[in-house]
Structure 1
Amino acid sequence: MAGCIREFVEQYKPCAAMVTTQCILAAMTLWVKAAFGRGMSPMVFVVYRQAVATLVLAPIALMANRTKLKEMRLGTRGFFLVFVAALFGATVDQNLCYQGLHLGSSSLATTMTNLIPAITFVMAVAVGQERVNIREVSSIAKIFGTVVCVGGAATLAFFKGPRLLNNSIADPSKLLHTLASKWVIGALLLILSSSCWSFWLILQGPICKSYMDPLTLSAWTCFLSTLQSAPVAFFLLPDQTAWRIHSLFELSCYIFAVSTVSFINRKTETQCEFLPDRVWNAGRVRVWRELLPAV
């Protein structure tokens, strides 16, 4: 009996972990959106988030791999791949994502992540990692799923309905003006963010072949992303007041974001390491993101 219970727990442990992850991500999205509403800059948030994550992950990675530091060297090719992955999967992706969240809404931001399996599938087909045969049922299902994802994202991008709660009678012209400005721009930024994340998933294949430690990879990614995003933010935000942490609410937002991003990145990279079909694996992980808008 005990063996059956243990087997059941082990079998459904990944499912429980992914559900918990979606709840944490939903809380982080709402928290960050509220902080943006209080004046926090999305670009500054990305820099601080990556910098604090580097300070947290780097010592842990060094301690965990202190007996095999020579074996954990990146090399020229590995460094280039990780640099590109950090650029698209952390720096560009997060800046686009949080700017889109700032201009749109938390529900829009979480729903747009459902585009990632479709975009990843298209990219995988383009680079030869995925094969499509119209005569196979699996290929037809993948194509149908891609069309549904893109259609749903387009609907959200170009239509913003009225509020369901605490709604006052809105002027239709004002609603159309809102549609044509921040909402659409935010949606487009979120679509670009999903594309960057899909490209990051495609890169995990060659990266994991040459460099197999997910914790050290996460530390390198956060460090390189800090170096990439900080100069751009300093150039675009010369006002020093934008870099100040104005309240305990903002500080707690940074800390919570660092703890969640560290967990999520390591979880994704670890699955990419142990599962050979990275495109299928990416799709399986992203299926659980369907819970995120509901949460």
Structure 2
Amino acid sequence: MRMMDHLMKKDVLEEVVIISILIGIQVVYAGNSILMGYLMSIGLTPFTIVIYTSFATFLLLSPIAFLFERSKWPKKFSLKLLIQLVLIAFGGVTLFQSLLLKGINLTSPAMATSMPNLAPGIIFVIAWALRLEKVKLSCIYSKVKIAGTLLCVAGALTMSIMHSAKAEVAVGGNRQSETSGMAVSPPLNVLFDKDKIIGCFYLMAAIFVLSTNVVLQAATLGDFPAPMSLCAITSLLGGFLTAALQILQYHKLESGFPVLSVSNLISYSLVGGVVSGTCVSFNGWAMKKRGPVLVSMFNPIGTVCSVVLSIFTLGESFKLGSLAGMLLMFTGLYFVLWAKGKEGYNTYSNSSCSSGHGDGFASEFDPEKPLLS
């Protein structure tokens, strides 16, 4: 009895620790997005931020990866693995972070933290297209996943449109023509903020790149089963690729020294590196313990925290229509996650959902398969 009580207490304590860490990670992500928005507002470019945080992530993670994962490193790096690492670095570090930061700069941190809730639906579509995800329209879980994905997209579009709507619309729409007395339709640039619309597209593109990158990471982890080492290597490669892209685009490498002192640059870089490395490591640990479905369910907390922090620190307001779009996106996210969780447990008992090959749905979000997160 004492042994059972001890095990029960241990399980409860572990559950509390996991949930607390997952909530803490979302709060940290929200704070980090506010910090990135501030750094860009004082003049740092997205490329510069990506370069510094990427190198900081490598410096912080590489010693830990060497200590705990070197036994999992492949003895020989094949050409295929090298190409995969470069693609992950370019997509997950250079392209994703640059698009995300540009999106934050043009919209708001709250919008940036809400868009990643699209990722499970987009990953599902990409995996379906690549035949990594088995879908049967006769299965209720497949129908729910498709409906959830559509809700996510509808919510993102609604949120983007409402977030870009200008407050002057009501005034512009009531203007009368002095000569004809007829109502004059306001021009499109009065109805919507062009910069915010472009920023929303940047964020959507960033999440599409991230989702594609997650599928590629899943394939790479099969040959290189060391997630922290993979993160460290791709951060280093991503830093160099971002620097090369900045030189090609602007014909110079901006250091950010006129904007911030060297000590401040180092401090902000270390903060970015700690946030990235720590959150990736804890997320990976939590996924091993409880699976990616539980981890993904905490994503909306980051959005809520970001909205609250933006209101109190940046003085931003959030429109009711944007909140409605966010609610649609959250609903779609939970539809997808619910279906993925149920699918993993019920494929054997539900014949209409069985693949006929004895393996059920080999899906990337199955609770016991934390490969795609």
TM-score (norm 1): 0.85
Question: Aligned pairs, how many?
Answer: 286
Q: Does residue 289 of structure 2 align to residue 286 of structure 1?
A: no
Aligned residue among 40, 43, 50 for 1:46: 50
Aligned counterparts of 1:46 and 1:197: Cα–Cα separation in 2: 15
Determine if contact 1:117/1:282 at 8 Å carries over to the other structure: no
Counterpart of 2:127 in structure 1 is 124
Q: Does residue 267 of structure 2 align to residue 257 of structure 1?
A: no
**Identity %, equivalent residues:** 21
The alpha carbon displacement at 1:286 in A equals 2.8
The alpha carbon displacement at 1:61 in A equals 2.7
Q: Does residue 103 of structure 2 align to residue 89 of structure 1?
A: no
Q: Does residue 117 of structure 2 align to residue 103 of structure 1?
A: no
Q: 1:294 to 1:69 in 2, by over 3 A?
A: closer
The alpha carbon displacement at 1:86 in A equals 1.4
Q: Does residue 20 of structure 2 align to residue 16 of structure 1?
A: yes
Aligned residue among 212, 220, 226 for 1:213: 226
- Flag the structure with more relative contact order, 1 or 2, with Cα contacts below 8 A and sequence separation at least 6: 1
The alignment's C-alpha RMSD in Å is: 3.0
Write out aligned runs for 1:1-295 (5 A): 1-65=5-69, 68=71, 71=74, 73-160=76-163, 172=172, 176-177=189-190, 179-238=192-251, 243-244=256-257, 246-247=260-261, 251-268=266-283, 274=288, 284-295=294-305
The alpha carbon displacement at 1:87 in A equals 1.4
The alpha carbon displacement at 1:139 in A equals 1.0
Aligned counterparts of 2:156 and 2:79: Cα–Cα separation in 1: 39
Question: Which runs of 5 or more structure 1 residues have no equivalent in the other structure?
Answer: 276-280
Determine if contact 2:73/2:225 at 8 Å carries over to the other structure: no
Q: 1:179 to 1:121 in 2, by over 3 A?
A: same
Aligned counterparts of 2:260 and 2:89: Cα–Cα separation in 1: 28
Determine if contact 1:22/1:289 at 8 Å carries over to the other structure: yes
Name the SS of the counterpart of 2:135 in structure 1: coil
Aligned counterparts of 1:158 and 1:49: Cα–Cα separation in 2: 31
Bigger mean CA deviation after superposition, 247-256 or 204-213? 247-256
TM-score (norm 2): 0.68
Counterpart of 1:278 in structure 2 is none
